[in-house]
Amino acid sequence: MDYFDYQSGQLYCEQVPLTEIASSLGTPTYVYSSATFLHHYQQLAKAFAPLDPLICYSVKANSNIHILNLLDRAGAGFDIVSGGELARVIRAGGDPAKVVFAGVGKTDQEISQALQAGICFFALESAPEAQNISRLAVAAGKKANAILRVNPDVDPKTHRYITTGKKLTKFGVNLEEVTAFFEKYSDLPGLNLVGLHMHLGSQITAIDPFVEALTKMLDLVDTLRARGHKIEWLDLGGGFGADYQTDTVPLAPAYADAIVDMLRDKDLCIAIEPGKFISANAGLLLTRVVYVKESGPKRFVIVDAAMNDLIRPSLYDAFHFIWPVQPAQGFVPPARTAEPAIDGLLKVDVVGGICEPTDFFAKDRLLPPVQRGDLLAIFTAGAYCATMASQYNSRPRAPEVLVDGAEHKTIRRRETYDDLTALE
Ligand code: LLP
């Protein structure tokens, strides 16, 4: 569900025609819908309400401070993985007391910064990190709240590059080593070890992996409590899937129903860390066709955005729905389906202009005929697109626009050639 739709033959974001944004700001441009961010946040908040969870929006998905501010005002906390993300949360007006800090490589500087800010807790990923955080906390005259990230060895059945809760990945501590970890490190002088964390991966479109992992985590909670350890928090991580194609993922209540029942009456404070679920469908990338090139049997639609703006197809073989902003008269783009059954569509590759064969947005995709100058929308670009953007090929990064009803504002300007060389 999102607030991008066709009205009188052209694509709108809420009440703003995308042609208006393209004319005033040029392309490529990321366009975000406030109502969609809030709708997805509220869907999760409502579904998980019986657990009264701390919902920590995962900053890495879309870290623009205006988006963080929007979600902060809706009541969100934040899941961070770097000092830079913490700085963004604070600049956005977010409450550090609702921040959880994960990541296998937290540096001394980042740990001290988080101690100073007074975050809710660190998610520990290893014994050396536990010792280091304790040492730095003691030096700062503080005690750091921490939970232990457990690797539950569950296959989340998603792309292998976004699988994190399987053995042999770099994340967390193996299930069978957790009890020994608590025995050894729960009394470190600078640590207050108060719970467990898991994060299985991203774009998880089945409920079973959550249930399987949670079953293992709850056994662990019982074991640890029986041994006298204080387990107050259980952080379930993120990974709830976003609907890149229509009806391919469970809705919030489906995830929550299974999870809520397992956690009722467990006397645990619950945290969740959704990123994509909230932000992916809240954005699209607006781009213009530069050329249409026919080459033997192939037809390439070459656009002014490229893999530096949206790397997900190149990196994860990700599917992003693409349609013209102003389709030819009479053509109404169907729901987000990979193989629409409509006459008159042509099979094309939609590609960028970067000098790499991996620079593509779609291969053998059915699109209505498009020509030089046409605007295209690459959907589901609100998560892991702007945050993963680069200046590769010395392409200035694209601006970000936030729409709210009939209003829109630029929340990050387009980079200039001066920006490209400013630090050199
Ligand atoms: N919590 C932790 C500890 C994480 O590492 C992540 C994502 C999340 C929460 C949020 O996951 P989400 O709900 O957004 O799936 N660049 C990839 C996704 C990488 C996710 C990394 N960790 C992509 O574009 O698919």
Does 169 or 349 have the greater pLDDT score?
349
Q: Residue 175: what pLDDT?
A: 94
Average pLDDT, whole number, for the chain? 95
Cα–Cα distance for residue pair 166/277, rounded to 1 Å:
21
The CB of 199 under 6 Å from ligand 1? The reply is yes
Task: Name the residue among 118, 58, 46 with its Cα closest to residue 85.
Answer: 58
Cα–Cα distance for residue pair 40/241, rounded to 1 Å:
12
The answer to whether residue 157 scores a pLDDT higher than 90 is: no
239 C-alpha to ligand 1 centroid (Å): 6
Contact 242, 203 (CB under 8 A): yes
386 C-alpha to ligand 1 centroid (Å): 14
The CB of 103 under 6 Å from ligand 1? The reply is no
Contacts of 296 (CB under 8 A, 6+ apart): none
- Closest atom, ligand 1, to C-alpha of 276: 14
The CB of 288 under 6 Å from ligand 1? The reply is no
DSSP state of 400: E
Q: How distant, in Å, are the alpha carbons of 148, 158, 212 from that of 217?
A: 11, 21, 9
Percent of the chain surpassing pLDDT 70: 99
Q: Tell me the pTM.
A: 0.96
Among 41, 60, 309, the mutation site with the greatest number of ligand 1 atoms within 8 A of its Cβ is 60
Q: What is the DSSP string of 123-146?
A: EE-SHHHHHHHHHHHHHTT--EEE
Q: What is the CA radius of gyration of the chain?
A: 23
In this structure, the residue with its CA closest to atom 23 of ligand 1 is 384
In this structure, the residue with its CA closest to atom 6 of ligand 1 is 238
The CB of 273 under 6 Å from ligand 1? The reply is yes
Cα–Cα distance for residue pair 196/193, rounded to 1 Å:
9
Q: Is 120 one of the annotated active-site residues of the chain?
A: no
pLDDT digits (tens, 9 = 90+) for 303-330: 999 999 999 999 999 999 999 999 887 7
Q: What is the DSSP string of 27-65?
A: SSEEEEEHHHHHHHHHHHHHHTGGG--EEEEEGGG---H
All structural domains of the chain: 4-32+280-421 (2.40.37.10), 34-277 (3.20.20.10)
pLDDT digits (tens, 9 = 90+) for 79-123: 999 999 999 999 999 999 999 999 999 999 999 999 999 999 999
